[in-house]
Structure 1
């Protein structure tokens, strides 16, 4: 079912008022890959009445007031993507299209949408609690470097003047907030639960203090230190409370909520999602974001790959939870009854598809080790169970009305090569690849790869060779295509030319999947960009900050306007 977006839709459900109103910067797509739909349906499944206000007009009261006053709280998210990333390119230009809006029209969400929406709610509902969530809020929860303004900004919780911030995948935390508010009506009672960030005028007892906002603004090394502390100390199995002084207040992060277990994840993804754009927004024009995910399956959450530039690790955590085969197969059977289903499951995966079946007793009971799971080489306890993943894909393919099953969310090729079952997995993988298998070596130069926390490029070449040989033996045209990032910290003209030569001589094709590194809040790479040091090692890092040179680096790799001077 669609969650209500108007009073008329509420009345059809027999609801006179809502317990929770969720606000998002995306068009309302009722699909589990959209966080707002996931949280909404989860709360409804627990007995709460939830409505959605999508892409509200932030210059008037007409949208923000149309569902009335919620009984418990407003939940606010910028959407599936940080609003600044959604609105601007890596060249700092306004984007012409927004895949999360009807007809791809840009400008439907404001810059720093979390703050704008929160201020809008506060204007018309001054006494209703405001809870922030989603990736924009999650990664901006402490003082952070904002590339678009080239400055350190305070916690989004303070700028938004909200009551609470939920970080990470927030289903259980949001449910706890709803339960406490229903029982007590007191938002203060919510400030001790896991998974929230709050502010206080007094330093909390027993908290580990990060470098202050003032220290970070005056000392770039303090920023690197702050990011390192957050990464090392934020884990559900390390019950550490963090705090950071910002002016006269303290921003306080409680320990993270534990990830959903398999049973909880199974139940979550079998909720009654329509897997369509809400009719109101569809009437304005097609929302492109639904196209690639409509018949995709989320099989696994979390990623321990630890790539320096990736925000998902810090949002979903390094802890892996994967669904039972029975739950996934039930979801597939549900999809085959969908009126739009044409026989293709476009993806079975998650942040990294082949982490399905991964288990590490130490990580799942005590938290992470001192060294990363997959860098500089793969820990023996980090090798996933590729056998059960292939078995799952074959079972899906055998379901009536299913013609094709693909993996589109990417895999870690280094983990495949570390597995004794790896060769058989590659052979089977050919059958679940739609023409091209897109992998992410990201770069070729050893120094840049080390800073990215990515495996040696030789492993990518080895995997590519084995995959394409296996495809040839099966008389299938299947190829490996690489994703690359340029202008990442550590890359100068020298390393850029090294990458260009590698692509020309080893891959022998013109790359299309090349992106310019964008410093987004919360990542190790962004800390490198701002501070000029690797926060995990203290090593000095070269950083190219000129927009012109960063653009040239991409042009040099792709061949477009490559004759332009870098000077």
Structure 2
């Protein structure tokens, strides 16, 4: 018997089990590591005394694979995996992805589109009355009627389409323990309606008292204004302390969302990350080459959850919440010591952080009593006066990990909010970051530089980025280190037209930076930016927002951000002409591209000082062979 959770009947027999209490069906391969949601939920149930087994990436074309471990006693849990299954399968251009990092050997095609719905419908064919509970990022962010980019339509709540009994949104640990306790006590799934962080279906709202009924599915399908209004309530009430119950009609039934679950305390976080994970993929995947996704996290440590950065294009606020939930230093050090003992550890901790690395404590002391501020952000447009900007505890944590015997280097690779660091004005932290925790490049995400776009993104403006860039370069110069800043930029975000894309291109020209990769905005379910993309309305202000929607318009913007690439010449020229910016076509230093060749395909004569004027700083990315990736 291995220490992995059962995946076969033989595994169950070795444990002396005839029947499971809970069956977990996952769209990802089974990786027993705390960066993978199914592993956390299953290990937590196991510690609570329940018999749990996993069916990972079942063949959905029939019901056979779902029967592999038999009918569970208490319930079936379903998750599409660490990513929304549509995002996992398709690019921003709606083309098939060639690989799937959460599948054996990176093989694509091992999960269906809309995996949560498909799995649940197969399960209902077998066991019609077994409690069926859905969760994970796909379930969490599709809990209300939502815009689906891949079908370009408004879809019903995933709770309705999956025919599940209950939906757990958010990270789910508190919820699953309570759901399991009530089911174990003999309470029917139809009567489990009072758990924070869950959604359920009902035919009446008579049992509710302090709630908000948002525009129905039928309303939001027929009216983009109603869609924006419904989203506004979802966004503003997303708080575990002050948030209200929400209800949305779906034909003759309602989807009811209880207020979010309370944040985990530090002891609760420690309990979760101290569970007996094997910290790798199931050995059955070895022959196929393992699971690629483990490589990014195998030697990394999650120090906290949550993010109060509130970027509009990120739905993290709706999943992990805005209140930071941190592990203790002792728990983190224990995990670091376990990593050091791993046979293939080479001395390098790849990351210590969370969604935002330097958010290690709640934004302010009021949040745990009053909740987050309704309709306000902690960092945008300026840092709140109550914001705790101290980096002292995080810096001390990094120092402690560096002291562990066997640790050669501790990197910080998860998102770093430079605007938060600038608000703290903590040059001691920046110096130690550059001296000990950067591996030649520091990746940051200004995303855009046009004030119009950064305002809609909820991001700091270019002045803050340039201030940080100057400080970063000075510190590295003082240290005698050749380390580069790698900024990520996004094209076609709501609010960005050709004018704003050209503004971005001019910024890249002036700073001498040549981005090898640009992320096209993808309207994923649950984000504020997705609401703006679909409706053309900022739901918080009701202002109209320009949106580039056609594939060609998106290509024009993307090409402008990579205007130096010869393959983009015609697109860049078209964009500049269309925007009336022919002044950027020529031989002057400020020009982005040269004039086109004449009819005889002979280049127009160039001034002798052309090369001198056009000499640019080398691309920062040219100094590293490291492949750049974006967190989704």
| TM-score category (smaller protein) | over 0.9
Q: Provide the residue aligned with 1:114 in structure 2.
A: 116
Secondary structure of the residue that 1:84 maps to in structure 2? helix
The question of whether the paired residues in 2 share the 8 Å contact of 1:114 and 1:136 is answered with yes
| Structure 1 residue 14: Cα displacement | 2.7
The question of whether the paired residues in 2 share the 8 Å contact of 1:489 and 1:544 is answered with yes
Distance 1:314 1:288 in 2: 27
Structure 2: give runs of 5+ residues left out of the alignment.
576-632
Greater mean deviation of Cα atoms: 279-288 or 111-120: 279-288
| Structure 1 residue 311: Cα displacement | 1.3
Structure 1: give runs of 5+ residues left out of the alignment.
none
TM-score by length of 2: 0.88
Deviations 1:156-203 (A, max 9, x none): 000000100000110010111111001115112322211110011112
Distance 2:371 2:140 in 1: 20
Alignment of 1:454-469 (within 5 A): 454-469=459-474
The question of whether the paired residues in 2 share the 8 Å contact of 1:356 and 1:385 is answered with no
Q: Provide the residue aligned with 2:393 in structure 1.
A: 388
Q: Which of 557, 562, 565 is equivalent to 2:568?
A: 562
| Structure 1 residue 410: Cα displacement | 1.4
Q: Which of 294, 300, 309 is equivalent to 2:304?
A: 300
Distance 2:74 2:536 in 1: 45
TM-score by length of 1: 0.97
| Structure 1 residue 239: Cα displacement | 4.9
The question of whether the paired residues in 1 share the 8 Å contact of 2:27 and 2:79 is answered with yes
Count of matched residue pairs: 565
Does residue 1:438 correspond to 2:440, yes or no? no
Distance 2:509 2:279 in 1: 42
Q: Provide the residue aligned with 2:336 in structure 1.
A: 332
| Structure 1 residue 313: Cα displacement | 1.7
Distance 2:377 2:488 in 1: 23
Does residue 1:490 correspond to 2:495, yes or no? yes
Distance 2:99 2:367 in 1: 41
Distance 1:361 1:408 in 2: 28
Distance 1:564 1:17 in 2: 64
Distance 1:483 1:14 in 2: 52
Residues 56 and 174 from structure 1, CA distance in 2 versus in 1: closer, same or farther, beyond 3 angstroms? same
Q: Which of 205, 214, 217 is equivalent to 1:213?
A: 217
Asked which structure has the greater RCO (Cα within 8 Å, sep 6+), the reply is 1
Q: Provide the residue aligned with 2:370 in structure 1.
A: 366
The question of whether the paired residues in 2 share the 8 Å contact of 1:143 and 1:155 is answered with yes
| Structure 1 residue 381: Cα displacement | 2.6
Does residue 1:323 correspond to 2:327, yes or no? yes
Q: Provide the residue aligned with 2:531 in structure 1.
A: 527
Q: Provide the residue aligned with 2:256 in structure 1.
A: 252
Distance 2:81 2:348 in 1: 27
Q: Provide the residue aligned with 2:138 in structure 1.
A: 136
| Structure 1 residue 359: Cα displacement | 4.6
Q: Provide the residue aligned with 2:407 in structure 1.
A: 402
Q: Show structure 1 runs of 4+ deviating over 4 A.
A: none
Q: Provide the residue aligned with 1:151 in structure 2.
A: 153
The question of whether the paired residues in 2 share the 8 Å contact of 1:445 and 1:498 is answered with yes
- Report which of the two structures shows the higher radius of gyration computed on alpha carbons: 2
Distance 1:512 1:131 in 2: 42
| Structure 1 residue 473: Cα displacement | 1.4
Alignment of 1:17-96 (within 5 A): 17-96=19-98
The question of whether the paired residues in 2 share the 8 Å contact of 1:357 and 1:384 is answered with no
